[in-house]
A and B are shown apart, each in its own frame.
Chain A
């Protein structure tokens, strides 16, 4: 029974969020304090769960043979810690930011609920639980997307909803067949036994569907269109967590399905792997190219997410250890980086109202801290040494070369590098223009617009975190190797 305590991090934010929705008369300061308190407690609880690796809880059976089952393993804890830290920081940021939106209470309520659902997702021990929380996540995150109430926000929100649900249903198709042909639905490192018999092609198709289904959330081509509509229209802190964290659930889903259900042996060398790799690389290139051409700042960052997540997908699709390490490292790194970038963009919008990249000349002089952080984060993302971005890309390229798969072992690294160049192309000019606007700039119009500390401190912490991931990449890789060891 004491094992049930691992579920408190799941339940607490959901309950807190619900209470927040229904208790109407709450003063803003009190509300913010409550939110921060919940987030902090949450972080502590998750860290405590680190010590409880291996604990499992079965709640009840949804229907015959479909138990709702939680288990804490290395992979789950890693994701959970990432999520909870980012959530806390973005949450603090939002107190100031949301002052210029309405309905803060509704926002914070759903913000908390989504966290609880995500933790539940991380701790899910079998496919059923994972799927259930996946659907819940789509639904609870929806109000965050459409929060501003503008027409384009509503349209983007609905697009998000339908694409996400569609992706979930693709995965569900595969799920139905896995239920029948697999030994169990529980996530077992290395995969559960699949009794394909004569239905091997059928099951491979199912695996592909599940990859595409989860890939929707991860913004993989061809079902990525929602991401670039939804992430920009949400309020900045929401965009941050959408791009930084929620897309990672697609990654988590893919890892769980391929590495913990089907098992890499089942997929390796089949058409599934080929299709997967192709789609991932295609998205990498496409995302970077679109980002390069995009003029709206938040949308540019959204395309960047599309591209970066497919780095991770590519790494996973190679099905070897080095690439896996690169992917997971990239998960952490991208989480911190993209979140920070979005928060910076949010700060810019909050203080100046400017949304387009061309308008940002000279902004570095107005908001130095913000733009410095932006710069450091950009460099990390591009992968210029000695930042963490390089390490993860290095492992990915190494993994590709080692994999021995025809064509892709060269093509992969090439595209990754091209994309890195493009990344530089779409991120650095902002910094450069920001600090060095050029001679024809009207310097007299500059004002000091640094935002409040509640906005800048999280930003700085995130930047530090991004650098930290790079510096401490070796211990992190070691940790990831413990995950791999279980396979």
Chain B
């Protein structure tokens, strides 16, 4: 298959998004059908690409001497693109029902769809320059989504998001420059592109730059201390927080870190150095911090946002182990967490949409009225905790396996952090489920009268996610084999 198809996959949703904003649609349904069609077609094309595996890179534009815009699909990109394109149609379907209650749907779906294309652009970037471009673009096209409700909080949140993201990219840029100067090329090559001849004795400087780049790209992946933007962004409509801030944006940050660690700087260069210990410590700290803060938080969506912060650092912890097994664990969690977290957020969104209740302590007894929603929430909570039989256990297992195999003492501490986070996760998810299903003897259910279960357009994606969580929990071998081969450097 010709690599030109990659361009179609990326630019079709961008174009479709722009059209959504420009064409005056006759009614909501027409617009929704148009949007969903664009998204589904893109996903189909993407899957066709994945199945056909075009090997070549396609150069679009020569920027300056060494800077080229090129796209290429390798193993890592394939995984991320596959994940995104599977989730987007479902998320779009969900958001139709959700957004009926909000205004200015036209501009919302415009940026929502454009973001799809930009995220695919990140995953299919063939070199650091292209990825950096699409990374910055991702920030820009998602700001209007955070801003959407136009409340004072939303404006402040979008500013925070913008400053943090652009700031992070600025530091990531430094890393980019160094790879440009000290590497053989900007392309993504498994094992890294650094040229030992050029490095000479400036190794320490490069390590410092790596840490700066990790922190810079890590802003999008919500590491401490740069994660303030994520809970604040919870003010956006749920489809935004769910898809973007639990899946697309934050996973792009993790993806970028995977790229610079394994495909630009190279794990062999970094392993065993003080740089590795620093970034691993940061990841471990964030794991605990995220889970602990989630516990204190009583706002439903913000609690899930903190949970995302913790879980993203599971992925980063896997990356910082800097072995193929570590990357493998990270990839597993990237995929599985996306499904789990999107399910949780969608449940939260359904609850907010149907009841207007945003705080955890208001959720008492709702389990009776919205059994499917809370049931699926419980499943996703159990999965996040790592109960065997659900997918969360599998990804945690592989992360721990990689940590044990690395024989790195800090990694052992990391396993402890994972387990501490697991118990904290249990507390902050189970309290919600218990409140919903077991409100207590004295609870007066009349406050919940009139609450209805979520509609089909919301429930269908939720059920699909729940099924995925269970299926991947017991039968994940085909997927994990694929991820393992990618982590080892294969296609």
Q: Which residues of A contact B (CB under 8 A)?
A: 60-64, 66, 128, 131-132, 135-136, 139, 143, 146, 148-151, 154, 157-158, 161-162, 165-166, 169-170, 172-173, 176-177, 179-180, 202
* A179 touching B388 in the complex, CB below 8 Å, given contacts A143-B438, A149-B438, A162-B427: no
Interface 1/0 per residue, B393-427 and A, CB below 8 Å: 11001101101110000001001100110110011
Sample of 20 further A-B pairs with CB below 8 A, known A63-B398, A169-B419: A63-B397, A63-B480, A64-B477, A64-B480, A128-B388, A136-B387, A136-B389, A139-B387, A143-B438, A149-B442, A154-B434, A154-B438, A157-B438, A162-B427, A162-B430, A165-B422, A165-B426, A173-B416, A180-B401, A180-B405
Report B-chain residues with C-beta under 8 Å of the C-beta of A128. 388
Within 8 A of A (CB), among B431-483: 431, 434, 438-443, 473-477, 480
Complex Cα–Cα for A51 and B401 (A): 39
Cβ of B382 within 8 Å of any chain A Cβ, yes or no, is: yes
> B477 touches which one: A63, A143, A165 (CB < 8 A)?
A63
Report A-chain residues with C-beta under 8 Å of the C-beta of B476. 63
Instruction: Report whether A170 and B419 are in contact in the complex, using a CB–CB cutoff of 8 Å.
Output: yes
Instruction: Report whether A132 and B419 are in contact in the complex, using a CB–CB cutoff of 8 Å.
Output: no
Complex Cα–Cα for A360 and B431 (A): 37
Within 8 A of A (CB), among B202-237: none
Instruction: Report whether B401 and A135 are in contact in the complex, using a CB–CB cutoff of 8 Å.
Output: no
Q: Which residue of A lies closest to B396 (CB)?
A: A172
Instruction: Report whether B440 and A154 are in contact in the complex, using a CB–CB cutoff of 8 Å.
Output: yes
Q: How far is the CB of B378 from chain A (nearest CB, A)?
A: 10
Instruction: Report whether B394 and A151 are in contact in the complex, using a CB–CB cutoff of 8 Å.
Output: no
Cβ of B319 within 8 Å of any chain A Cβ, yes or no, is: no
Within 8 A of A (CB), among B6-23: none
Instruction: Report whether A151 and B438 are in contact in the complex, using a CB–CB cutoff of 8 Å.
Output: no
Kindly name the residue among A149, A176, A180 whose own CB sees the greatest number of chain B CB atoms within 10 A: A176
* A132 touching B480 in the complex, CB below 8 Å, given contacts A63-B397, A165-B426: no
Complex Cα–Cα for A157 and B480 (A): 36
The 9 lowest CB-CB distance pairs between A and B, nearest first, are: A149-B441, A132-B388, A176-B400, A169-B419, A165-B426, A180-B404, A166-B423, A63-B394, A135-B387
Instruction: Report whether B388 and A169 are in contact in the complex, using a CB–CB cutoff of 8 Å.
Output: no
Complex Cα–Cα for A337 and B390 (A): 38
Query: Can you pick out 13 interface pairs between chain A and chain B where the beta carbons lie within 8 Å of each other?
Result: A132-B388, A139-B387, A143-B438, A149-B439, A149-B441, A151-B442, A158-B427, A165-B385, A169-B420, A172-B419, A180-B404, A180-B405, A202-B412
- Chain B interface helix/strand/loop/mixed: helix
Instruction: Report whether A176 and B415 are in contact in the complex, using a CB–CB cutoff of 8 Å.
Output: yes
> B423 touches which one: A62, A143, A149, A169 (CB < 8 A)?
A169
Q: How far is the CB of B296 from chain A (nearest CB, A)?
A: 16
Q: Which residues of B contact A (CB under 8 A)?
A: 382, 385-389, 393-394, 397-398, 400-401, 403-405, 412, 415-416, 419-420, 422-423, 426-427, 430-431, 434, 438-443, 473-477, 480
Instruction: Report whether A158 and B419 are in contact in the complex, using a CB–CB cutoff of 8 Å.
Output: no
Complex Cα–Cα for A403 and B339 (A): 54
Report A-chain residues with C-beta under 8 Å of the C-beta of B412. 202
> B440 touches which one: A66, A150, A180, A202 (CB < 8 A)?
A150
* A179 touching B404 in the complex, CB below 8 Å, given contacts A139-B387, A154-B438, A158-B434: yes
Complex Cα–Cα for A60 and B475 (A): 8
Complex Cα–Cα for A128 and B401 (A): 14
* A179 touching B401 in the complex, CB below 8 Å, given contacts A62-B389, A150-B441, A151-B440: yes
Report B-chain residues with C-beta under 8 Å of the C-beta of A151. 440, 442
Q: How far is the CB of A53 from chain B (nearest CB, A)?
A: 26
Q: How far is the CB of B402 from chain A (nearest CB, A)?
A: 10
Q: Which residue of A lies closest to B422 (CB)?
A: A169
Complex Cα–Cα for A166 and B430 (A): 13
Q: How far is the CB of A369 from chain B (nearest CB, A)?
A: 32
Instruction: Report whether B389 and A158 are in contact in the complex, using a CB–CB cutoff of 8 Å.
Output: no
Instruction: Report whether B434 and A157 are in contact in the complex, using a CB–CB cutoff of 8 Å.
Output: yes
Report B-chain residues with C-beta under 8 Å of the C-beta of A131. 388
Complex Cα–Cα for A169 and B419 (A): 6
Instruction: Report whether B423 and A60 are in contact in the complex, using a CB–CB cutoff of 8 Å.
Output: no
Report A-chain residues with C-beta under 8 Å of the C-beta of B403. 176
Report A-chain residues with C-beta under 8 Å of the C-beta of B473. 62
Report A-chain residues with C-beta under 8 Å of the C-beta of B394. 62-63
Report A-chain residues with C-beta under 8 Å of the C-beta of B423. 162, 165-166, 169
> A162 touches which one: B426, B474, B477 (CB < 8 A)?
B426
Complex Cα–Cα for A139 and B390 (A): 14
* A149 touching B440 in the complex, CB below 8 Å, given contacts A66-B397, A162-B426, A179-B404: yes
Report A-chain residues with C-beta under 8 Å of the C-beta of B474. 60, 62
Instruction: Report whether B389 and A132 are in contact in the complex, using a CB–CB cutoff of 8 Å.
Output: yes
Kindly name the residue among A61, A135, A146, A151 whose own CB sees the greatest number of chain B CB atoms within 10 A: A135
Q: Which residue of A lies closest to B399 (CB)?
A: A176
Complex Cα–Cα for A166 and B385 (A): 11
Q: How far is the CB of B399 from chain A (nearest CB, A)?
A: 9
Q: Which residue of B lies closest to A181 (CB)?
A: B404
Report B-chain residues with C-beta under 8 Å of the C-beta of A135. 387-388
Complex Cα–Cα for A146 and B385 (A): 21
Instruction: Report whether B440 and A176 are in contact in the complex, using a CB–CB cutoff of 8 Å.
Output: no
Report A-chain residues with C-beta under 8 Å of the C-beta of B397. 63, 66, 176
Instruction: Report whether A146 and B389 are in contact in the complex, using a CB–CB cutoff of 8 Å.
Output: no
Q: How far is the CB of B371 from chain A (nearest CB, A)?
A: 11
Report A-chain residues with C-beta under 8 Å of the C-beta of B426. 161-162, 165
Complex Cα–Cα for A414 and B78 (A): 67
Complex Cα–Cα for A368 and B420 (A): 50
Q: Which residue of B lies closest to A164 (CB)?
A: B426
Q: How far is the CB of B124 from chain A (nearest CB, A)?
A: 29
Complex Cα–Cα for A66 and B382 (A): 20
Report B-chain residues with C-beta under 8 Å of the C-beta of A157. 434, 438
Kindly name the residue among B388, B412, B477, B480 whose own CB sees the greatest number of chain A CB atoms within 10 A: B388
Q: How far is the CB of B373 from chain A (nearest CB, A)?
A: 17
Report A-chain residues with C-beta under 8 Å of the C-beta of B430. 158, 161-162
Complex Cα–Cα for A148 and B385 (A): 26
Report B-chain residues with C-beta under 8 Å of the C-beta of A158. 427, 430-431, 434
Report B-chain residues with C-beta under 8 Å of the C-beta of A162. 423, 426-427, 430
Instruction: Report whether A173 and B415 are in contact in the complex, using a CB–CB cutoff of 8 Å.
Output: yes
Complex Cα–Cα for A126 and B264 (A): 42
Q: How far is the CB of A250 from chain B (nearest CB, A)?
A: 17
Q: How far is the CB of A179 from chain B (nearest CB, A)?
A: 7
Report A-chain residues with C-beta under 8 Å of the C-beta of B439. 149
Complex Cα–Cα for A63 and B142 (A): 37
Complex Cα–Cα for A143 and B442 (A): 17
Complex Cα–Cα for A169 and B442 (A): 33
Complex Cα–Cα for A470 and B423 (A): 41
Complex Cα–Cα for A392 and B55 (A): 71
Complex Cα–Cα for A139 and B434 (A): 12
Report A-chain residues with C-beta under 8 Å of the C-beta of B443. 149
Complex Cα–Cα for A338 and B385 (A): 33
Q: How far is the CB of A58 from chain B (nearest CB, A)?
A: 14
Q: How far is the CB of A479 from chain B (nearest CB, A)?
A: 32
Report A-chain residues with C-beta under 8 Å of the C-beta of B442. 149-151
Instruction: Report whether A176 and B401 are in contact in the complex, using a CB–CB cutoff of 8 Å.
Output: yes
Complex Cα–Cα for A161 and B474 (A): 24
Q: How far is the CB of B407 from chain A (nearest CB, A)?
A: 8
Q: How far is the CB of B298 from chain A (nearest CB, A)?
A: 16
Report B-chain residues with C-beta under 8 Å of the C-beta of A166. 423
Complex Cα–Cα for A154 and B387 (A): 22
Q: Which residue of B lies closest to A213 (CB)?
A: B419
Complex Cα–Cα for A202 and B401 (A): 15
Complex Cα–Cα for A173 and B405 (A): 14
Complex Cα–Cα for A84 and B367 (A): 33
Instruction: Report whether B477 and A146 are in contact in the complex, using a CB–CB cutoff of 8 Å.
Output: no
Complex Cα–Cα for A158 and B438 (A): 11
Instruction: Report whether B438 and A177 are in contact in the complex, using a CB–CB cutoff of 8 Å.
Output: no
Complex Cα–Cα for A246 and B428 (A): 25
Q: Which residue of A lies closest to B472 (CB)?
A: A63
Report A-chain residues with C-beta under 8 Å of the C-beta of B475. 60
Q: Which residue of B lies closest to A167 (CB)?
A: B423
Report B-chain residues with C-beta under 8 Å of the C-beta of A176. 397, 400-401, 403-404, 415
